Structures are given as C-alpha cells and as structure tokens.
Structure 1
C-alpha cells in the first residue's frame, strides 16, 4: 500500500515496486484520474482528511490481494510558514495530513502486517516518508512544516518499539529537497536535486530487508550536509 501515489515520490515508488514484481495498492484522492486497475495494481480512494476512506482502502487491498506486506506512508503537504506566522487552521491541516492519518493507517494495517501467511518468512514493514526537516530546522520558513515532520518521526519511533517483538519493522526515509512539484519555487536548480526514482530505490531496499536489519531512519541529501 502506497499513499499519495499519483505523482512525485509516491508514483516513483509504485512504478519501482511494480517493476520488481510486487502487487501494489495505491491510495489516491482521485483514483478515477489515474487510469485503470489491473491484476497487479489496485487504485483506491484515499483522502487524509477523510478518515472513513482509510478502512475502506485497507479492506479493498486485503480483498484483492489477500495480505499486506508493506505500507508506505508517503502522502503529505508542505508549508512555508514560520512558527510566528502560523495560523491555527494551517497547523491543524498539517498535523491532520502529515501525522494523524499516517497514525490511523498504521493502526489499521498493523494486524495484517504482523500476520504470517503460509510461505512468508517474516512480517511486513512500514516506511514513513518524512524529511530532513523532521531532524533539524534550517530556516524560519521550514519551522511549521518541521513541527509536523518531527511529530512524524515520533510516530516512526513509536511504531518501531511496537514491532520489537512481532518483528514488524518501521523505517523513516528523510530526504532534503527532491525534484518534485513540492520543491518547485523553493530551489533554483532543480536538476541538482535528488530524484524521486532515487528515493524509490531506497524504499524498495527497505521493504525487501529481513527483520534482522532494523533501520530507524535514512537521511538523504542531494549534496552534503554537515550533520542531521
């Protein structure tokens, strides 16, 4: 299952996993605009601001494929507001989309991820698409967004601890700017940036790891940053 899979990083992960032979279930706000469902690709409505869409997506995925091996929590929004400029409605929207919906999806998916279908060697994995803004705040304009991503990192750490005994592993991927629509207007030279396809390679690697490799988070920068 991959949320926010209509474009950018989510679409790149979906394409990579399909090419690797996985069945994918894509959570999209407008699945009717994403083409046709196929034997290996399920298109479902998912809206982070509509909690009722979340169990429907989980149920449709299990009904189609019979099990759940991985959950990629990729959907999210950005803000350029400083913490002094923040309006309550914008803050609430950031937290609702970037934190609360991933929390609910993880809760709903958990029983399926920890199940052990016949022939599967280990439980599933959760990948959260966070940000380097969830590990440090480098400018005033990333302050409000950073609050939501720091909270998402807390969710990732909490899920890791919940999976200590049942071997459901959780990893947060933390990119800096990636060459997507979200970065447009904030970075002058988009050609220098990490590509969505680069992040997709990392996500596929994490999803394929055995439970003996528990990775908390993976920071990714298009250049070099002194510390995270």
Structure 2
C-alpha cells in the first residue's frame, strides 16, 4: 500500500482537541489526508492543528458547538469551502460523566445526551450528502463514516447508565446507516475502545472520578494512538473491504 494511502482525501474529526480525536487527526494527516479538526475549545484544537501543519499537513481548526444543528452545518460547509470535498468523517466528540443515578444531576445527563447523541446526529446529517458525492468522485471510489463508541455499550457498569445509553444508541444508529449506505459506497463503521488513558478522568468530579477509575484499577490502559491506529486501518482499506466494527480492549481488560 502507498505510504500515504489517503492522499487527496479530506477528513473531518470531531472532538479533536485532545485524546482519541487529536491522535486520529494526526494519524490521518500522516496518511496523507487534509484534515478539519473540530472541538469546543479553540486553544486545544489550534495546538493540534499547529502540530500537524509543522509536519507539512493540510489542516484547518474549527471551534464549534455541535449540539447546535446550525453550527454543525456551518462546520461541514467550512470544510467544503477550504478543501472542496469531504471523504471521511470521524464522529469522536463525547462527554463521559459517571456517577450513580441517585446522585447525578439532570444537567449532567442532558449534557451527555446533547453531545453524544444530538451532536453525533447533527454532524452526520450535515456530512452525508458530501460523503456520498465523494465516493463517486474519489480515486479511492469509497468514503468512510466512523463512529467512536465504547466497550461500555457491551458491558454495563454501575454509574454509567446514561453514558451507556448514548453509546448503545450510537451502535444502533451506525448499523442502520451501514445498511442504508451500502449502495452509495459509503462504509459505515464503529470503533469501540475499552479502557483508554485519555485524560477524561482528570476532568471529572470526585465521585464520578471514582466511578470511572474502579473498573480500570490495575489495568494498563490503551493510549489514544492505539485507537487512532484502528481508525486508520478501517479507512485505508481498499474499496472491496469494509471493516464495519472493531472492539479494541486493553490487553489486561477482562470486561
């Protein structure tokens, strides 16, 4: 395979300011794609974009609240204005707020539903016509939509009720789109990471941090680059190959 198999392709990655999203953006740029990075914090996404630009990559950084449908539309249009097409969408943006149902606030639950579900739907809806068009005009003869889920959808733990709800919904959404878009040459995939050392735990409150930590105590977690490798593998396959799902657990993870 060519050293840069995505040369000429354009990718959009949400949640690209840190963790899996930042690692994925760097990896796809290394594979030759021009990349649009989206995050809700401009300082973080600009830093990642600068790293990619220093390596010679084509990149644009956007600050956007994708829970607003109009902003998701604008974000996709900004990508088209800058690069002229959209071949790959990686829906990675999420928030994970863990804690018991008794002690969680409705605001925390709404925040997860707004970003993990509504944000996913808004960006996908805005991008789909352009992915379909890209599949008909690209030398690759295919486009890719990758949704980043979680192993939490497969093994539910206490304290993750609404987070698990959002990831279960993501899986159902992904599978329906996969079947719908087969004839359009748009591959639809889900990547389900297990325990990842991505820094999210550090942004949780005390009780939620405890809930996030206890299932992973003693486990050497995945690194964001490990998940980025999986995403790169999916989108760099020849057209005849569709990797529709990939579960990536830490080596010591039992659940």
TM norm structure 2: 0.80
> What is the rounded CA distance, in whole Å, between the counterparts of 2:136 and 2:171 in structure 1?
29
Distance change in 2, residues 1:85/1:215 (3 Å): farther
Q: Which runs of 5+ in 2 are unaligned?
A: 1-11, 203-208
Deviation at 1:84, TM superposition (A): 4.8
Per-residue CA deviations over 1:144-174 (Å, capped at 9, x if unaligned) read 2111111111111121112121121111110
Q: Is 2:235 the counterpart of 1:207? A: yes
Per-residue CA deviations over 1:63-119 (Å, capped at 9, x if unaligned) read 111111100000000021234545433222211100111112111111111114545
Match of residue 217 from structure 1: 245
- Equivalent positions of 1:126-165 (< 5 A) are 126-137=145-156, 139-165=157-183
Q: Is 2:115 the counterpart of 1:94? A: no
Q: Secondary structure at the match of 2:69?
A: coil
Equivalent pairs counted in the alignment come to 225
Considering fraction of residues, name the structure with more helix: 2
TM norm structure 1: 0.89
Q: Is 2:26 the counterpart of 1:26? A: no
Confirm or deny: 8 A CA contact 2:196 2:221 kept in the other structure: yes
Confirm or deny: 8 A CA contact 1:81 1:144 kept in the other structure: no
Confirm or deny: 8 A CA contact 1:78 1:94 kept in the other structure: yes
> What is the rounded CA distance, in whole Å, between the counterparts of 2:101 and 2:245 in structure 1?
25
Q: Which runs of 5+ in 1 are unaligned?
A: none
- Equivalent positions of 1:69-148 (< 5 A) are 69-115=87-133, 116=135, 118-137=137-156, 139-148=157-166
Distance change in 2, residues 1:222/1:141 (3 Å): same
Match of residue 14 from structure 2: 3
